[in-house]
Structures are given as structure tokens and as C-alpha cells.
Amino acid sequence: MTDSTLPPTVDANQVTRESVERFVDYFRRRIGEISSIESPSRQLYDKLLYMSVLDALSKSVFPRRRSRDRLVSFVKQFSKWEDSQRVSLPHLVRLLKKAPDPAFERLRLFAVDSFTQWQVHNGMLTPISADPDIEDIKRLWPGGQEYKFPLEDISLESLQHSNLFYTLRNSLVHELRPLGHGMDFDRQSTPYYHRLSQVGDTLNDVLLSIELVYPSQFLNALCTQCLDAFQLYFSSNSLDPYDYYTFGTYWIEELNE
């Protein structure tokens, strides 16, 4: 016989699942609202807010890591972005031109030759899936610690899309501006390069640059993928995402603990 005056048994796992669902629903609604923004600067605001969503989610998974490691690791492990570890070939070519050390000659010749064969030079969009895998570049990268940073603090890993992604995040969050001069074409759902040119005096196109773009649709899909994986991970592991945030009246976290 049970005492009817006693409170019913609380299923801790059920409470956690409900907490995860409430947390995830909050961000699903925010993602939906972001995609409906109407403004002449819509793409700028879209990208800034999508980055904020990813930042917030990553804090729950890696609460003790620094912001770069936290965001890069989160996107790598929770998204379906297969090209995130590729090396941006235009960035690699530029780096090796600014670092004329003969030790990089074999890699430089390979990079320049590969880049000149891209159809982007003929005006076609080139997806970042055309970029080389990092392992292919490592085989040509000279050995020795002295070659890890051919230019100041720029390493091979700096040119991976996962790290370029974080660099874009910083520009959006801290300076409210995108990087480069690329154009975000609304129908594109994956990152790409495009040719930027102008008409010269002889009516021929003059190449200005090859621009990298992470379109808004891509960031929207990335947020949704990460949120789906986030929900599965936290529910499966009986983790409550609210445990990794501090709530309260005071703006200084320690005062609310």
C-alpha cells in the first residue's frame, strides 16, 4: 500500500528530456525568426544572428573552452559540413606568394597550378568542395617547426574552412561586417567562390579577385543540423543544457551563483 499523500515519483530522465526540448524549441523559433527578417541589410543580420545561435549552443557542449576552440569543435562534431576541414586554395596561394621561402616551392607550384584550373576564372561559381583536403597539403608542406608559421601567426590550419568560419564570426560579432567582397546569391545553399571583376577601358573584364562566400542559406542549414544533433546528444546523455548557463538578476555571473 502506498501513502497517497506522498508526492509522485519524479522521473529525472523525463524532466531532463523536457528541459532539452524546451531549450531546443527556443532556438528553433529564433532560427525561424532570423530567416524571416526583412531589411536591405538582411544577409548581414542573418549571418550575425546565425553565428550567435551556434555560439550559444557550443557553450553548452564545451563550457570551459575558449571561444575559437569551442565553436570550431562544435561545428565539426555536430554539423554535417563535410568540407569544413578542407583548405581554402585561394588563401593558400596568397599565403605562399607572401612567403617566398624555397622550402615551399613544391607546394606553391602545386597550389598555383591547381588554382589556375578552376572554372571560377571563367565566371562560374566554384564550390569549396573543389578545395584540397588538408592531408594532401600536409604531404607537400615542408617539415620542421620553423615552417609551421610561414607568415606571422598563420599556419596551415588557419586556412581550413572551420577556422575561416570562426574568423568570419569574429568580424560579424565584433565589427558588424562580413569579410571580403563576395556576393551572397540567395539560391546558393553551400559555400562557394566567385569571380569579382569590372569592365575595363577596352570593354574587357578586369579580374579583381576570387571571393569566398558562406551564404545565409548555408548558415541556416548549419544551425538546424547542429540543433538536431544537439538535441539527440543531450537527450541520449541525460544532460540538461540549462546547467551550463547562469541565470539571475545580476549581470555579473558570480553574483548569481
Q: Tell me the residue range of the domain where 141 lies.
A: 86-159
Number of domains present in the structure of the chain: 2
Q: Are 163 and 153 within 8 A, CB to CB?
A: no
**Residue 209 CB neighbours (<10 A):** 15
Q: What percent helix, strand, coil does the chain show, rounded to 5?
A: 55, 10, 35
In this structure, of 4-8, 52-56, 204-208, the range with the lowest mean pLDDT score is: 4-8
C-alpha cell at 143: 617539415
pLDDT score at 198: 73
Q: Using one digit for the tens of pLDDT, what is the confidence trace for 40-58?
A: 999 999 999 999 999 999 9
Is 195 inside any structural domain?
Answer: no
Do 220 and 254 belong together in one domain?
Answer: yes
pLDDT > 80? residue 202: no
Amino acid at 142: P
C-alpha cell at 245: 548557463
pLDDT > 50? residue 132: yes
Do 91 and 155 belong together in one domain?
Answer: yes
Do 228 and 250 belong together in one domain?
Answer: yes
Do 50 and 19 belong together in one domain?
Answer: yes
Do 140 and 247 belong together in one domain?
Answer: no
Is 136 inside any structural domain?
Answer: yes
In whole numbers, what is the pLDDT of the chain averaged over residues? 92
Do 171 and 243 belong together in one domain?
Answer: yes
Do 19 and 94 belong together in one domain?
Answer: no
Is 113 inside any structural domain?
Answer: yes
Do 103 and 148 belong together in one domain?
Answer: yes
49: helix, strand or coil: helix
Is 169 inside any structural domain?
Answer: yes
Distance linking the first and last C-alpha atoms of the chain: 42
Do 105 and 231 belong together in one domain?
Answer: no
- 126-127, strands of its sheet edge to edge: 126-127, 192-199, 205-213
Q: Are 89 and 112 within 8 A, CB to CB?
A: no
The sign of the CA dihedral 169, 171, 175, 176 is negative
For residues 3-18, average pLDDT: 68
